[in-house]
Amino acid sequence: MQNSCSQVWNYCLDVIKEQIPEQSFSTWFSPITPMKLEGEVLTIQVPSQFFYEWLEEHYVNVLKHAITQALGPNGKLEYSVIVDTGSNLSAPYTVNLPNTNGGAVKQADKRQMKDYKGPFQLSSVSQDFLDSQLCAKYNFDTFIEGDCNRLARSAGHAVAKKPGVTSFNPLMVYGGVGLGKTHLAHAIGNEIKQNLPEKFVLYVSSEKFINQFISAVQNNEVQDFINFYLQVDILIIDDVQFFAGKEKTQEIFFHIFNHLHQSGKQIIMTSDCPPRDLKGLEERLLSRFKWGLTADLQQPDFETRIAIIRTKMEADGIDIPEDVVEYLAYSVDTNVRELEGVMISLIAQSSLNRKEVDLELAKQTLQNIVHDIETEVGIDYIQKTVSEYYKLNTEELKAKTRKKEIVIARQIAMYFSKEYTNHSLKSIGYHFGGRDHSTVIHAVQSVNDMIDTNTNFRNSIEDLKRKLKMRVAV
Ligand code: ADP
Ligand code: MG
């Protein structure tokens, strides 16, 4: 019987449809076009190399089964991959991919990149319209160098000079909150854009990437999403720790990562901890994070803090006496964001009260905003802050109730009491309606577990920490 190529493919599609979810079917199989049938070899055309890789990795058995059903045990499948012409700079490339069914992939027609609907709501991806999402004020000039950031800064600089060419690919910058990860990431991006304006640099936070992916899935636009990211020359992705536990996003990112990396595109990532401590991330993704260079940002030392204060004040046109600079640098040693917060308050105090910035004003301001946690925060204050945060009554934290949201708030308040006060476990239990010390131990453990596994929860804890630390005067 003489089967036409599309008849065979339609038959395959019917078989495949039975076996996979509708969503996956429309994402990965609808875009395929049957090309030709020669004997027992069916050739299908797929939109990109990425697409081919994805099919081979995820649907090889489904495809094999369908081909066998349609063409018998000797049936073979070949792919024809549409190859885009790349950027203006690089010549079009051809692919010759092996395939698990023993067929070869034929070189397909070359064609210009089509106008994808990018996740950043671009009407077109022609170079003129590409927005890098970079913030101009975060550049290398404003990023003060110190021992705490020297390695990361110079690696960033090297990458910015020769993106994709150095062995720092990917470049992974990690460090605690407020230590300059986002600033440095933007600085690298801005520098590249300045030196190599034809490159498509893209900055994206991991949260944004996750949300874009979710909505692409919902709107059946996963292909557009992927195609958009595959065109990026320099991908800067901030706070990858938020990928934890998001398996589908990790999977898509893994493929985008591989594809960009293989094509010599630069990837820059930031994270709040070193790759080895990133929990909830797939091993294969983590192993790739370690391919290039991992550089950390540490808490700024005294001299760097002085330099940062001077530079920022100068940039704002504010004259500030040397003893005040030193006083601030000495008093706020946690991170740069807090240091900036204090400077802003100081400037605000000075202009509100029409007072010169002097040591006395600095001391007053600082007393009003920063309270030393060890000595100043008591269980009462923790209970008040946590119950306000969760819109509960403080008494409920001490009551017998086992309502889930109250139990969690109570555990969090116990956790902070253990972290931030010198009370014994027994005493903490006493302050929470006379509970015993094992309840407190259990609370601390539960909170730690949830911090490790639940991003929203971890964010709430970070919020609360900030609230507990910064008490703004009335
Ligand atoms: P992170 O992303 O690590 O939480 P950010 O990059 O947002 O931290 O930095 C917090 C603030 O501190 C930003 O306003 C940033 O400009 C500033 N900052 C951090 N490091 C430096 C530095 N080395 N020099 C100047 N400003 C810095
Ligand atoms: Mg950041």
| pLDDT, one tens digit for every residue, the chain (474 residues) | 456 899 999 999 999 998 888 878 888 898 898 999 988 889 898 877 777 878 887 888 899 999 988 998 888 888 887 765 444 333 333 333 334 443 434 433 333 334 445 556 433 334 434 689 999 999 999 999 999 999 999 999 999 999 999 889 999 999 999 999 999 999 999 999 999 999 999 999 999 999 999 999 999 999 999 999 999 999 999 999 999 999 999 999 999 999 999 999 999 999 999 988 888 898 889 998 888 999 999 999 889 999 999 998 888 788 889 989 988 888 887 889 989 888 888 888 887 778 888 888 888 888 776 554 334 567 888 998 999 999 999 999 999 988 999 999 999 999 999 988 777 888 899 889 989 999 999 999 999 999 999 999 999 999 998 888 764 322
Ligand 1 pocket check for 58: Cβ under 6 Å: no
Q: Does 156 lie in the same domain as 283? A: yes
Half-sphere CA count of 278, side-chain side, radius 13 A:
29
Residue 138 CA: nearest ligand 1 atom is 16
Sheet holding 201-205, edge to edge: 201-205, 234-238, 266-271, 171-175, 293-297
**CB distance 75 to ligand 1 below 6 Å:** no
**What is the domain-level CATH number for residue 45?**
3.30.300.180
Torsion of CA 248, 129, 194, 257, to 10 degrees: 20
Alpha-carbon distance of 411 to 427, in angstroms, equals: 15
**Ligand 1 atom nearest to 145, measured from its CA:** 23
- State the helix-helix crossing angle for 322-331 and 336-352, rounded to 10 degrees: 130
Q: Tokens 């600089």 label which residue?
A: 157
CA 339 – ligand 1 centroid, Å? 10
Q: Domain range spanning residue 68?
A: 2-103
Residue 468 domain flag = yes
Which of 441, 465, 442, 461 has the alpha carbon at shortest distance from 453? Answer: 461
Do 188 and 215 fall into the same domain?
Answer: yes
Identify whether residues 369 and 391 lie together within a single domain.
no
Q: Is the residue at 326 inside a domain? A: yes
Tell whether 52 and 89 lie within a shared domain.
Answer: yes
Q: Which of 156, 1, 167 is nearest to 71 (CA)?
A: 1
Pocket probe for ligand 1: among 182, 336, 340, 462, the residue whose CB has the most ligand atoms within 8 Å is 336
Q: What is the sign, positive or negative, of the torsion defined by CA atoms of 53, 55, 58, 61?
A: negative
344 ligand 1 Cβ < 6 A: no
Distance from first CA to last CA of the chain, Å, rounded? 87
**Cα(214)–Cα(221) distance, rounded to whole angstroms?**
10
* Nearest ligand to the C-alpha atom of residue 335: 1
Whether 124 maps to a domain, the answer reads no
Q: Is 143 a pocket residue for ligand 1 (Cβ < 6 Å)? A: yes
Residues 233 and 270 both lie in one domain: yes
Last residue of a domain, one of 268, 297, 326: 297
Q: Residues 390, 364: one domain?
A: no
Neighbours of 461 (CB within 10 A): 18
Q: Which residue has its alpha carbon closest to ligand 1 atom 16?
A: 183
Residue 368 lies in a domain: yes
CA distance 52 to 45: 9
178 lines ligand 1 (CB under 6 A): yes
Beta carbon of 183 within 6 Å of any ligand 1 atom:
yes
Q: Is the CB of 156 under 6 A from ligand 1?
A: no
Atom 11 in ligand 1: residue holding the nearest Cα: 337
From the CA of 235, how far away is ligand 1's center (Å)? Answer: 20
Closest ligand 1 atom to Cα of 336:
12
User: How many angstroms does the Cα of residue 337 sit away from the middle of ligand 1?
Assistant: 6
- Residue 284 tokens read as 């294969």
Count the domains in the chain. Answer: 4
Structure tokens at 273: 């901890």
Does the Cβ of 177 fall within 6 Å of ligand 1? yes
270 and 389: one domain? no
Q: Is the CB of 336 under 6 A from ligand 1?
A: yes
Structure token digits, residue 327: 């006083």
- What pTM was estimated for this model as a whole? 0.63
CATH of the domain at 460: 1.10.1750.10
Q: Which atom of ligand 1 is nearest to the CA of 297?
A: 3
Q: What is the 3-state secondary structure (H, E, C) of 33-85?
A: EEEEEECCEEEEEECCHHHHHHHHHHCHHHHHHHHHHHHCCCCEEEEEEEEEC
In a domain? residue 127: no
Tokens of 454: 């639940």
Q: How far is the CA of 81 from the centre of ligand 1 (A)?
A: 44
Ligand 1 centroid to Cα of residue 204, in Å, is 17
Task: Clarify whether residues 354 and 402 are in a common domain.
Answer: no
φ and ψ of 163, to 5 deg? -65, 135
Centre of ligand 1 to C-alpha 458, Å, is 21
Do 309 and 293 fall into the same domain? no
Instruction: State the Cα–Cα distance between residues 472 and 474, nearest whole angstrom.
Output: 6
Cβ 267 under 6 angstroms from ligand 1: no
CATH of the domain at 197: 3.40.50.300
Residue 315 within a domain: yes
List the beta bridge partners of residue 271: 174
Boundary (domain end) residue, out of 103, 137, 163: 103
Tell me, yes or no, whether 428 and 361 share the same domain. no
Q: Cα separation of 13 and 44, whole Å?
A: 12
Residues of 88-101 as b/e, b for ≥16 C-beta within 10 angstroms?
Answer: eeeeeeebeeebeb
For residue 189, being part of any structural domain is answered with yes
Whether residue 68 is found in the same domain as residue 173: no
Closest listed residue to residue 170, CA positions, set 297, 51, 276, 287 = 287
Q: Which of 172, 183, 270 to mutate to test the pocket of ligand 1 (most atoms within 8 A of CB)?
A: 183
Q: Is residue 245 located within the same domain as residue 262? A: yes
Domain boundary among 103, 136, 169: 103
Please indicate, yes or no, if residue 228 is contained in any of the structural domains.
Answer: yes
Structure tokens at 82: 């549409």
Q: What residue owns the CA closest to ligand 1's atom 9?
A: 180
CA distance 286 to 281: 7
Ligand 1 proximity of 152 Cβ (cutoff 6 Å): no
Beta strands 33-38 and 41-46 are: antiparallel
